[in-house]
Structure 1
Amino acid sequence: MSRIVIIGGGPGGYEAALVAAQLDADVTLVEADGPGGACVLTDCVPSKTFIASSEVMTGYRHNDRFGIRSGGVEATVDAVAVNERVKKLALAQSADIQDKLVKVGVDVVRGRARLGEDTLGHTHQVLIEPEGAGAYAVDASTVLLATGATPRVLPSAQPDGERILDWRQVYDLTELPSHLIVIGSGVTGAEFASAYLAMGVNVTLVSSRERVMPHEDADAAMAIERVFRERGMTILSKARADSVVNTGDGVLVTLADGRTVIGSHALMAVGAIPNTASLGLREYGVDVADGGYVTVDRVSRTNVPGIYAAGDCTGVLPLASVAAMQGRIAVWHAMGEAVAPLRLRTVSANVFTDPELATVGLSQNDVDAGKVPARQVMLPLTGNARAKMADLRDGFVKLFCRPATGQIVGGVVVAPKASELILPITMAIENNLTVDQLAHTITIYPSLSGSIAEAARQLMQHELQ
């Protein structure tokens, strides 16, 4: 029987454990925080639950334009209740994962682990340190590293859990900030800025780049930034935070150009660093890239046979869905199953702002840089009947296709629930569909998804000209 040790219980780890158990391996999963890891307990699941509460506030505030009157009663946010719900759902999800793992026979160990001594043979020694018990060693035929990442900390802006916060500490607040300064305008910063703004908080977003979410589609990022500004968010572009100080009753943020910003709280969203420093990787001979990321190939192998890695500790793409697939691929490959290498071109991603931003496949930057020839169309949602009914004034669908064949190679959606609308485009790319095939697909009328088929029809018309 194969002995597999998985270090880290996030999506990359627990999904791999489930697959390994189904293939009759002897599986040990070591996780310090609990099944689901940081993704479930402090990161992805809590943040999206928090955002769900903000969406309720957004709908409440804009009822008047639908002819719904609230009787002059203003909705308020109970921060304690919101955060209790966040934590409760996270723990419930973790418990569900624990039940699944135990049911299929995975040995779940609460604690930490690292690679042991490099010994001869076809096994790898793993040193396991259970919480509250003595350490012991296990010899495994396969080791999967899935230890995730931790919020990056600036020396001049140390989170204290009171006024200066990282994104794992916001759920301990007993009241909403009166003025939240968000440092960092990437995906995490933009999501929290959007959510707190919807809850009625005065938000200042500090962006070191020209626009928010600089690594996302430019048209999409600018559309969302426009919404932010229209709703009252202050965005400081080309501004870099030099320091953040807790003044006792607030925070003082000093920018690189000498300007200062005063708020009640600061949220640090300046990236993450991989949790690989204490795994004994270099001593064992595992290649580690700059920044501490574990180097892997498309089937999750490191340079050491029998040692694999998955998820945020690899730096491949910081998405729970990618981590889970990397973990599954690692186990399938290790156990001799047929496996297709990871294909990032078919991976869809979503930013949970309001509206959402979803992307898949070829990007606008790829086209503009001439890396890949493509035709494109961008269709605003303002002409969509369902969007008019819902009074959606922002958003669009963008499609990319091959110039000669019309094969769909990329897409962008900015809309409420773009995370759901991106699926048909993802499926089209995965299955090599053309704009003709998508254009001939009958969609429900009225529906937002109808704009995806309409965009395909417009590309088909261009093809015929």
Structure 2
Amino acid sequence: MTLPRPRVAILGGGPGGYEAALVAAQLGAEVTVIDEDGLGGACVLTDCVPSKTLIESATTMTSLGRSASLGLQLEDGHNPVVEVDAPALYARIKALAAAQSDDITERVAAEGVQIIRARGALTGPHTIAAAGTTVRADVVLIAAGANPRVLPDAVPDGERILTWRQLYDLPELPEELIVVGSGVTGAEFAGAYQALGSQVTLVSSRDRVLPHEDKDAAIVIEGLFRRRGMNVLGRSRAQAVHRKGDSVVVTLSDGRTVTGSHCLLTVGMVPSTAGLGCEHAGVTLDSRGFIEVDRVSRTSAPGVYAAGDCTGVQMLASVAAMQGRIAMWHALGEAVQPIRLSHVAATIFTDPEIASVGVSQAAVDRGEVPVRVVKQPLATNPRAKMAGIRDGFVKIFARPGTGMVLGGVVVAPRASELILPLSIAIEQNLSVDQIAHTFSVYPSLSGSVTEAARTVMEFGPDAIV
């Protein structure tokens, strides 16, 4: 007797949704994805992929700026050889995003997943209305994502007052860009546009940029921002943003004003749960509108799971994808390990990048975790010297006595790649001794990881360097 295939319906095609669809299809389920905009979701089409493509171009410009120190001449008289072609830059960004979405769609469709291009809404715990039809399922996954938060007195118009999703439709680079918000998104875009040639003012309501990140890393980035000519306004909360002809005026809470050609709002995200019909399915939302889930992605409704930004659980594509996979493994009877957020590696794509994993400096400073700490400056690394890199470091947190790696921070070009050995060390319970005894290429930036591990060993079990 052949048992019927379980039916899985997924509401949203971002990383949480399409990765879940792949797992469910491979486990033999009959899978339907309901998505309005295109697979890959906002992550691929408007957020992560486009922004990192922009940043890649900006990073190249920064590298070219070091050319003189490397013995290269990139000017013809007083005219720079390299200039930014904004329409071409933005066209490339959108083309790459669309191509990535197409690649994901092709892969998901090849697994036999049905894709419905429409906006869907829950009408019950196991039914979704979409495009005039009702999709019924044994298991439902909500992966609806989130949208940029806006301020009551700073409403985006898509021309001068913008969210990051509207940048790529501009006809030219902003001449004077005011970035409101100095968190991860604000810092990334502020640094990128400064490198591309815009004059940037970064409005931060806190004492420093990246207030929730490693303090040592944030100090490096803010120092570089200032050295590169950025106007960083600390302890300056934006109260309102208004158009004034072809300019924008940002009014701060203390009455000061800042004028520029454009304003980019980077003041957080709100979940896309309004109008989703969660109340019809018995799905509980928290006070901010995020879907409440446990560590295997279950909601309050039996058979209904949620993944990604709509849950408010570390808004990272990697976390969304893992939440989606875990949901399907759990729902379809596979062995599953609950998500371990302490093992998640995250990167801020400034230049240089900041990557971190495991225990944070803030937790150490609060006395929550006893560790020994070493910070190895990148300036002593021979490969960094060859590339004209002076700023950055590798920091390792290790358990006293055993030397077990508990966390790390890397501030360096391609820190997103360099953090991997520390992530593996945490996942596999490795010690600084084991890292120190691992061969690294000479010369390489990764050599600073093994050197930091050796420094922890040299200073003994209670070292704080």
TM above 0.5, yes or no, is yes
- Which of 100, 125, 128 is equivalent to 2:127? 125
Alignment of 1:205 onto 2:202: yes
Q: Secondary structure at the match of 2:459?
A: helix
Alignment of 1:285 onto 2:276: no
Partner of 2:172: 175
Letter in 2 for 1:239: S
Partner of 1:428: 425
Alignment of 1:399 onto 2:396: yes
Query: Which structure 2 residues correspond to residues 72-91 of structure 1 after superposition, within 5 A?
Result: 72=76, 73-74=79-80, 75-91=82-98
Give a deviation string over 1:38-63, Cα, whole Å, max 9, x none: 11000000000111111121122221
Partner of 1:57: 61
Give a deviation string over 1:134-193, Cα, whole Å, max 9, x none: x11122110000011000011100000000000000000111111000000010000000
- Which of 33, 37, 41 is equivalent to 1:33? 37
Partner of 1:185: 182
Letter in 2 for 1:284: A
Query: Which structure 2 residues correspond to residues 40-439 of structure 1 after superposition, within 5 A?
Result: 40-72=44-76, 73-74=79-80, 75-117=82-124, 124-128=126-130, 130=131, 135-439=132-436
Alignment of 1:8 onto 2:5: no
- Whether the 8 Å CA contact 1:116–1:127 is kept in 2: the answer is yes
How many Å separate the matches in 2 of 1:348 and 1:86? 25
Letter in 1 for 2:128: V
How far is the alpha carbon of 1:282 from its aligned partner? 2.5
Q: Secondary structure at the match of 1:169?
A: helix
Q: 1:464 to 1:404 in 2, by over 3 A?
A: closer
Letter in 1 for 2:119: R
Letter in 1 for 2:184: V
How far is the alpha carbon of 1:284 from its aligned partner? 2.5
Give a deviation string over 1:185-227, Cα, whole Å, max 9, x none: 0100000000000011100000010000111000001110000
Letter in 1 for 2:433: D
Letter in 2 for 1:310: A
How many Å separate the matches in 1 of 2:367 and 2:115? 49
Give a deviation string over 1:243-291, Cα, whole Å, max 9, x none: 0001121100100000000000000000010001111112332111121
Instruction: List structure 1 runs of 4+ shifted beyond 4 angstroms.
Output: none
How many Å separate the matches in 2 of 1:277 and 1:50? 31
How many Å separate the matches in 1 of 2:373 and 2:183? 26
- Whether the 8 Å CA contact 2:121–2:277 is kept in 1: the answer is yes
How far is the alpha carbon of 1:95 from its aligned partner? 0.4
Letter in 2 for 1:208: S
Q: 1:127 to 1:388 in 2, by over 3 A?
A: same
- Which of 10, 17, 25 is equivalent to 1:21? 25
Letter in 2 for 1:5: A
How far is the alpha carbon of 1:439 from its aligned partner? 0.8
Q: Secondary structure at the match of 2:449?
A: helix
Give a deviation string over 1:315-357, Cα, whole Å, max 9, x none: 1100000000000000010000011110011110000001100
Q: Secondary structure at the match of 1:326?
A: helix
Partner of 1:121: none
Letter in 1 for 2:249: L
Report the TM-score when normalising by structure 2.
0.97
How far is the alpha carbon of 1:409 from its aligned partner? 0.4
Letter in 2 for 1:109: I
Letter in 1 for 2:85: D
How many Å separate the matches in 2 of 1:109 and 1:283? 21
How far is the alpha carbon of 1:432 from its aligned partner? 0.3
How far is the alpha carbon of 1:449 from its aligned partner? 0.6
- Whether the 8 Å CA contact 1:254–1:261 is kept in 2: the answer is yes
How far is the alpha carbon of 1:464 from its aligned partner? 5.6
Letter in 2 for 1:127: A
How far is the alpha carbon of 1:461 from its aligned partner? 1.8
Q: Which runs of no fewer than 5 residues in structure 2 stay unpaired? A: none
- Whether the 8 Å CA contact 1:242–1:256 is kept in 2: the answer is yes
How many Å separate the matches in 2 of 1:429 and 1:282? 40
- Whether the 8 Å CA contact 1:183–1:267 is kept in 2: the answer is yes
- Whether the 8 Å CA contact 1:298–1:341 is kept in 2: the answer is yes
How far is the alpha carbon of 1:2 from its aligned partner? 0.6
- Whether the 8 Å CA contact 1:406–1:463 is kept in 2: the answer is no
- Whether the 8 Å CA contact 2:372–2:461 is kept in 1: the answer is no
Q: 1:117 to 1:325 in 2, by over 3 A?
A: closer
Q: Which runs of no fewer than 5 residues in structure 1 stay unpaired? A: 119-123
How many Å separate the matches in 2 of 1:201 and 1:319? 28
Letter in 1 for 2:353: E
How many Å separate the matches in 2 of 1:60 and 1:125? 55
Letter in 2 for 1:437: Q
Letter in 2 for 1:176: L
